[in-house]
Amino acid sequence: MLRRPKPIDTSVKSRNKNKYCEYHEDHGHTTAECRELKKALHELADQGQLNHFLKKGDGDHNRCNLEEKKDNDANRNIEIIAIIIGGIDSSS
Ligand SMILES: [Zn+2]
């Protein structure tokens, strides 16, 4: 469901090894900081495919809320989703 990320293009030396991205399965930034993951999630949200992950409690009209959320909420959602997906389908 989530598309595969482009590899991190920062050189290995300048990456922060204390940060790990579950989407890229590589070091350099955290999952919550991952721009590629955010882009991929926004694409899924646009397609309405995140509704079963993001329980808002009052229906479909909230499906575009991901765009409007404050960073903290968006980051928390991304972390939750990253946990749910537990890794990206590597067979495709
Ligand atoms: Zn990443």
Question: At residue 23, does pLDDT exceed 70?
Answer: yes
Q: How confident is the model at residue 4 (pLDDT cuts 50, 70, 90)?
A: confident
Residues with CB under 5 Å of ion ligand 1 are 21, 23-24, 34
Q: From the CA of 58, how far away is ligand 1's center (Å)?
A: 31
Q: How confident is the model at residue 14 (pLDDT cuts 50, 70, 90)?
A: very high
* Domain spans, the chain: 19-85
Q: From the CA of 59, how far away is ligand 1's center (Å)?
A: 30
Q: From the CA of 73, how far away is ligand 1's center (Å)?
A: 18
d(CA 25, CA 49): 23
DSSP structure string for 5-26: PPPP-S-GGGS-TT-EETTTTE
| pLDDT the model gives residue 92 | 46
